[in-house]
């Protein structure tokens, strides 16, 4: 059998198209984002979605995106107290580059409640959902120890396309998200909970991410997540990876 790297090398050179996607990373936090992306591209990861989350990160993200590098911009829960006033700027940033394709990462984080209270977080989250729905944009969600409330707020909003970055729920939560048409993004960590989540979902409700450099080391690490999903779904890694890329492209209109 061919190894995964042999397969991707062959496909890249034959078709000139790079099949896999890292659905969530932070390229702005790498010293040389372009170099990091090119390394991922060589490994078969031709699309990455890099997320801002505060004013500085959003401007860097705007600077980095082009080609297969797409970005989302937003004010994440932990920065809500200090940077809520920056939310209005998002509308302008979203119009500046066609590779800025959504709002994220946004949501609720109970662990960060000391930095920004949950009340403040909710206000900013809802405001950003309103921008997303008025501009018909997808959102990338950060939810930590807040899943029930995050679900409630999302159900009340008019936003349709929702990606749960680093999904924190169990298999029942995953089914509930799938029922709403939302996507569940799997991070590069070993956990029996995530295995159950993967097993219970349709492959077309799943995407893979590295959240690098915070969790995974770099975007090319997404291959190991795709491999794991493929194994649990009983399909080939190439099929799993290509379907995730198709899902992402349809979801983000790219
Ligand atoms: Zn992240």
Q: Tokens standing for 172?
A: 């029942």
Distance 128 CA to ligand 1 centre (A): 17
Please provide residue 140's backbone torsions phi and psi, each rounded to the nearest 5 degrees.
-110, 125
Distance 24 CA to ligand 1 centre (A): 6
Q: What is the pLDDT of residue 2?
A: 47
Distance 192 CA to ligand 1 centre (A): 21
CATH assignment at residue 12: 3.20.20.140
* Spatial distance between the Cα atoms of 182 and 174, rounded to a whole number of angstroms: 9
Q: What share of the chain is helix, strand, coil (3-state, %, to 5)?
A: 55, 20, 30
pLDDT of 13 strictly over 70: no
Residues around ion ligand 1, judged by CB within 5 A, are: 211
Across the chain, what does the average pLDDT equal? 94
Closest Cα partner for 50 from 225, 209, 216? 209
Q: Total structural domains in the chain?
A: 1
Half-sphere exposure of 170 (CA within 13 A, CB side): 1
Q: What is the mean pLDDT of residues 192-204?
A: 98
Q: pLDDT tens digits, residue range 42-100?
A: 999 999 999 999 999 999 999 999 999 999 999 999 999 999 989 999 999 999 999 99
Q: What is the pLDDT of residue 4?
A: 55
Q: What is the mean pLDDT of residues 104-121?
A: 97
pLDDT of 6 strictly over 80: no
Distance 14 CA to ligand 1 centre (A): 33
> What's this model's pTM, rounded to 2 decimal places?
0.93
Q: What is the pLDDT of residue 1?
A: 44
Distance 48 CA to ligand 1 centre (A): 12
Q: What is the mean pLDDT of residues 117-136?
A: 97
Q: What is the mean pLDDT of residues 169-197?
A: 98
Q: Which domain does 224 fall in, by range? A: 4-251
Question: Residue 105: is the preceding peptide bond cis (ω within 30°)?
Answer: yes
Give the confidence band of 18 by pLDDT, cuts at 50, 70, 90. confident
């Amino acid at each position: 059998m061919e190894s995964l790297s042999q397969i991707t090398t062959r496909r890249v050179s034959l078709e000139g198209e790079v099949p896999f996607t890292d659905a969530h990373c932070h390229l702005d936090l790498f010293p040389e984002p372009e170099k990091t992306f090119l390394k991922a591209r060589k490994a078969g990861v031709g699309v990455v979605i890099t997320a801002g989350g505060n004013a500085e990160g959003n401007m860097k993200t705007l600077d980095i995106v082009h080609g297969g590098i797409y970005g989302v911009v937003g004010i994440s829960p932990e920065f809500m107290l200090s940077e809520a006033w920056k939310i209005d700027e998002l509308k302008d940033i979203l119009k500046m580059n066609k590779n800025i394709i959504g709002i994220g990462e946004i949501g609720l984080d109970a662990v960060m409640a000391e930095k920004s209270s949950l009340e403040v977080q909710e206000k900013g989250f809802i405001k950003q959902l309103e921008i997303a729905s008025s501009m018909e944009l997808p959102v990338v969600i950060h939810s930590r120890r807040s899943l029930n409330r995050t679900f409630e707020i999302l159900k009340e909003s008019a936003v349709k396309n929702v990606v749960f970055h680093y999904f924190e729920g169990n298999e029942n939560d995953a089914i509930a998200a799938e029922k709403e048409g939302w996507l569940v993004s799997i991070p590069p960590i070993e956990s029996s909970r995530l295995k159950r989540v993967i097993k219970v979902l349709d492959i077309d409700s799943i995407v893979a991410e590295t959240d690098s450099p915070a969790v995974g080391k770099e975007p090319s690490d997404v291959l190991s997540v795709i491999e794991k999903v493929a194994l649990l779904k009983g399909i080939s890694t190439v099929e799993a990876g290509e379907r995730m890329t198709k899902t992402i492209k349809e979801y983000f209109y790219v």
